[in-house]
Amino acid sequence: DGGITQSPKYLFRKEGQNVTLSCEQNLNHDAMYWYRQDPGQGLRLIYYSQIVNDFQKGDIAEGYSVSREKKESFPLTVTSAQKNPTAFYLCASSEGAGALKTQYFGPGTRLLVL
Amino acid sequence: LAKTTQPISMDSYEGQEVNITCSHNNIATNDYITWYQQFPSQGPRFIIQGYKTKVTNEVASLFIPADRKSSTLSLPRVSLSDTAVYYCLVGDMAGSGNTGKLIFGQGTTLQVKP
């Protein structure tokens, strides 16, 4: 089956700890995105990548880092600098960049702080 | 990207037609209108996209008046499984420098009752 997978489904972070969320796609899409969703809110863009080895900051990049070494993978690291990391994190991909390109979303990772 | 305004919530009953209107007064000439659906604890899913007049697919219809300052998503004969959050987004075609950024507002929470 083609699609986007995210792991883990739930992730717990201790104070001062960095954690990495995985996102993999086998849709052969060039563009990939990370969003954060807080309860009752819409999605906010953290980082996006239009092509391998290139990525750009979104609206709320502070406290997060990403890499795009392979086309199919776009991991997100939540660093200790992110003071309020508890949220639902969604990864998406599209054939190319642009609001006209349908974005396909993964199932999400819920991050909780211990 | 043009800002959008939608009702926060709507209620309906099974079998009824539901119309959700979105305002986008500052829509640009090159902007398209896209609707996504999100179930709890899942990623959003593309429903429909259009530029003007009417678009219909197997799931919904999208009505866009001539001035394009608003649009209406129409769901025919809703069922309990249509209970979800519906997001209206406005953006333009990919081009040089286009980020593909989608702005998700709070969306409209549709509650379908038996």
pLDDT (tens digit, 9 = 90+) per residue, A63-110? 999 999 999 999 999 999 898 999 999 999 998 776 677 889 999 999
Return the pLDDT at B71. 96
What radius of gyration, in Å, describes the C-alpha atoms of chain B?
14
- Tell me if A33 sits within 8 A of A93, measured CB to CB: yes
In this prediction, residues B88-94 reach a mean pLDDT of 73
Burial class (CB in 10 A: 0-12, 13-18, 19+), A33: buried
- Tell me if B112 sits within 8 A of B14, measured CB to CB: yes
Residue A8 tokens read as: 């883990």
CB atoms A48 and B44 under 8 Å: no
Count how many Cα atoms sit within 13 Å of the Cα of residue B72 in the half-sphere of its side chain.
Answer: 11
Better-predicted residue by pLDDT, B97 or B50: B50
**Measured between CB atoms, does A99 come within 8 Å of chain B?**
yes
- Distance (Å, whole) CA B86 – CA B104: 10
**Residue B81, SS3?**
helix
Which of A4, A40, A99 lies closest to B102 in CB terms?
A99
pLDDT tens digit string along B101-111?
667 778 999 99
Q: Is the pLDDT confidence value at B7 over 50?
A: yes
Residues 78..107 of B with a Cβ closer than 8 Å to A: which? 87, 89-95, 98-107
CB atoms A105 and B105 under 8 Å: no
- In chain B, the largest separation of any two C-alpha atoms, in whole Å, equals 48
Q: Please name the residue that has the structure tokens 């819409």.
A: A42
Q: Using CA coordinates, name the residue in chain B closest to A102.
A: B46
Q: Is the pLDDT confidence value at A38 over 70?
A: yes
Return the pLDDT at A96. 77
Q: Is the pLDDT confidence value at B66 over 90?
A: yes
Q: Please name the residue that has the structure tokens 């829509």.
A: B27
- Tell me if A65 sits within 8 A of A80, measured CB to CB: no
Average pLDDT, chain A: 91
Q: Is the pLDDT confidence value at B20 over 60?
A: yes
**Measured between CB atoms, does A103 come within 8 Å of chain B?**
yes
Q: Please name the residue that has the structure tokens 């996006």.
A: A48
Q: Is the pLDDT confidence value at B96 over 50?
A: no
Beta strands B9-13 and B61-64, pairing class: unpaired
- Distance (Å, whole) CA A34 – CA B54: 32
- A4 pLDDT band, cuts 50/70/90, is very high
- Distance (Å, whole) CA A32 – CA A15: 28
Q: Is the pLDDT confidence value at A29 over 70?
A: yes
Share of chain A above pLDDT 70, in %: 96
Chain B neighbors of A9, CB-CB under 8 A = none
Q: Is the pLDDT confidence value at B100 over 60?
A: no
How many CB atoms are closer than 10 A to CB A74? 28
- Tell me if B102 sits within 8 A of B94, measured CB to CB: no
Residues 56..75 of B with a Cβ closer than 8 Å to A: which? none
